């Protein structure tokens, strides 16, 4: 017998969706590679290979169709997000282990594609930063670009992890300086004196953030994501950082600094928008995005980790089901009755 109606289908598929997400990441990746060198491309390859191996193994074990699920591209998206959130010169096994953990535990042990309650890439980040805090905090010093061979050697552990890697992200550096200074340090002075911060939020990192913004807007234009989550994320991050910045500009960095540093843009457009682990109703998406932005700020400014996006997203993943339940939109013809209908 034939498949039921509709007989006409839109030309779309999960792999098309995932491929477009990967394409949307390209501007950010390009800026990243320009900033820190081709090491990031190596990490993307390592993470992708680890993801494919882990995915294949898990599909085998569960006797799920290999070709269908391997070609859906979801594992690659997870892998790329891991590679882009980990330090670019992190040892290969750290990236691989994070990816395997994401695919095996965060994705397949929860039922595979579409079933994971938590964003797998963010689970990998959280696990690794808790387990290997030092390695996860080693970012290349600004302005230093090792030749490709040296970068690969560092990643593969064939060369010593040189001092050049002891740098912190601008976000981390700012926090540490402010904390150590205990009030004696001043944001304006830090920005003026240290080369690492560049014009807004970290030399070169603004361009990476800008790349993610461009890719994110493209996804919005292609209707892969809606505006709700990114806008709410950015708005809440700007609101809280702006409020504290106005309150004490010497101790709190500007909204622009927070928007363009760390994982803010990647988080707003590519991570918090993950439909599987996020909210799905329009109002739910607004709450999810706003909550993630707020938590990201609190964690990155007042918490002990260099950035807060991963934990913020995971915490909001926890809340997503109940937010969705409580924000069901009124349906056609029930908009007046809708309020009393679901109380």
Partner 1 sequence: MLMNLFKFKGGVKPPTNKTQSVGQPIAAAPLPSRLVVPLHQSIGGTPRPVVQAGDKVLKGQLIGEADGWISAAVHAPTSGTVVAVAMHVQPHPSGLDALCVVIEPDGKDEWITRQPVDYKALTPEQVRERLQQAGVVGLGGAVFPTHGKLTASKTVAMEEMVVNGAECEPFITCDDLLMRERAEEVVRGIGIFRDLLQPKKVLIGIEDNKPEAAEAMRAAVKAVGENFEVVAVPTLYPAGGAKQLIRVLTGKEVPASKRSTDLGVQCFNVATAYTAWRAIAHGEPVVSRLVTITGNVHEPRNYEVLIGTPMDELLKLATPHPDTDGIVMGGPMMGFLVPEPGVPVVKATNCLIAHSDRLFPPKAPEMPCIRCGSCAQACPHELQPFEMYWFSRAKNFGKTQEYHIFDCIECGCCSFVCPSRIPLVQYFRFAKSEIWAREREKNAADQAKERFEFKQFREEREKAEKAEKLAKAAAAQAAKKAAEAAAAAAAGDAPAPAAEATAPAPAAAPSAADAEKAAKLATIQAAMERAKAQREAAQPKNTDHLTPEQQRAAEEIESRRTSAGLVPPETPVNEKSE
In the complex, the residues that contact partner 1 under the rule CB under 8 A are 1-10, 12-14, 16-17, 65, 68-69, 72, 74, 112-115, 223, 226, 275-276, 280-281, 328-335, 337
Which residue is listed with tokens 């193994």? Answer: 57
> What is the closest distance, in whole angstroms, from the C-beta atom of residue 115 to partner 1 in the complex?
7
CA–CA separation, 88 and 134 (whole Å): 14
> What is the closest distance, in whole angstroms, from the C-beta atom of residue 272 to partner 1 in the complex?
14
Q: Are 89 and 151 in contact (CB under 8 A)?
A: yes
> What is the closest distance, in whole angstroms, from the C-beta atom of residue 121 to partner 1 in the complex?
15
> What is the closest distance, in whole angstroms, from the C-beta atom of residue 3 to partner 1 in the complex?
5
> What is the closest distance, in whole angstroms, from the C-beta atom of residue 224 to partner 1 in the complex?
8
Nearer to partner 1, 14 or 45 (CB): 14
Angle among Cα 263, 204, 42 to the nearest 5 degrees reads 70
Nearer to partner 1, 145 or 280 (CB): 280
Nearer to partner 1, 12 or 184 (CB): 12
Sign of the dihedral defined by the CA atoms of residues 316, 318, 322, 325, in that order: positive
Burial class of residue 24 (count of CB atoms within 10 Å of its CB; 0-12, 13-18, 19+): buried
Tokens of 339: 């309020």
Nearer to partner 1, 6 or 304 (CB): 6
> What is the closest distance, in whole angstroms, from the C-beta atom of residue 56 to partner 1 in the complex?
17
Burial class of residue 223 (count of CB atoms within 10 Å of its CB; 0-12, 13-18, 19+): exposed
Task: List all residues 6 or more positions away from 52 whose beta carbon is below 8 Å from its beta carbon.
Answer: 70, 75, 76
CA–CA separation, 108 and 238 (whole Å): 36
Nearer to partner 1, 175 or 285 (CB): 285
Nearer to partner 1, 3 or 192 (CB): 3
């Amino acid at each position: 017998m034939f498949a039921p109606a509709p007989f006409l289908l839109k030309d779309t598929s999960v792999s098309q969706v995932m491929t477009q997400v990967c394409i949307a990441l390209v501007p950010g990746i390009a800026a990243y590679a320009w900033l820190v060198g081709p090491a990031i491309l190596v990490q993307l390859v390592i993470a992708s290979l680890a993801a494919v191996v882990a995915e294949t193994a898990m599909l085998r074990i569960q006797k799920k169709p290999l070709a269908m699920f391997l070609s859906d591209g979801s594992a690659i998206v997870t892998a790329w997000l891991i590679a882009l959130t980990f330090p670019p010169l992190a040892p290969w096994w750290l990236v691989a282990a994070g990816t395997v953990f994401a695919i095996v535990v965060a994705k397949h042990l929860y039922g595979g594609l579409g079933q994971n309650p938590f964003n797998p890439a963010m689970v990998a980040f959280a696990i690794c930063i808790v387990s290997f805090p030092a390695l996860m905090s080693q970012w290349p010093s600004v302005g230093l670009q090792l030749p490709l061979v040296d970068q690969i050697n560092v990643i593969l552990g064939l060369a010593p992890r040189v001092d050049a890697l002891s740098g912190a992200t601008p976000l981390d550096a700012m926090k540490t300086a402010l904390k150590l200074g205990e009030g004696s340090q001043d944001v304006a002075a830090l920005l003026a004196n240290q080369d690492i911060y560049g014009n807004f939020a970290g030399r070169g990192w603004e361009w990476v953030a800008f790349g993610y913004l461009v890719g994110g807007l493209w996804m919005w234009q292609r209707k892969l994501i809606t505006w709700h989550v990114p806008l709410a994320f950015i708005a809440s991050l700007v609101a809280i950082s702006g409020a504290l910045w106005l309150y004490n500009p010497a101790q709190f960095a500007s909204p622009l600094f927070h928007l363009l540093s760390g994982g803010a843009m990647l988080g707003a457009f590519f991570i918090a928008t993950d439909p599987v682990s996020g909210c799905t109703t329009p109002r739910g998406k607004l709450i999810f995005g706003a909550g993630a932005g707020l938590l990201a700020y609190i964690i990155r400014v007042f918490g002990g980790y260099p950035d807060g996006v991963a934990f913020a997203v995971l915490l909001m993943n926890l809340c997503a089901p109940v937010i969705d339940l409580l924000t069901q939109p009124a349906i056609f013809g029930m908009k007046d009755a809708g309020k009393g209908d679901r109380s």
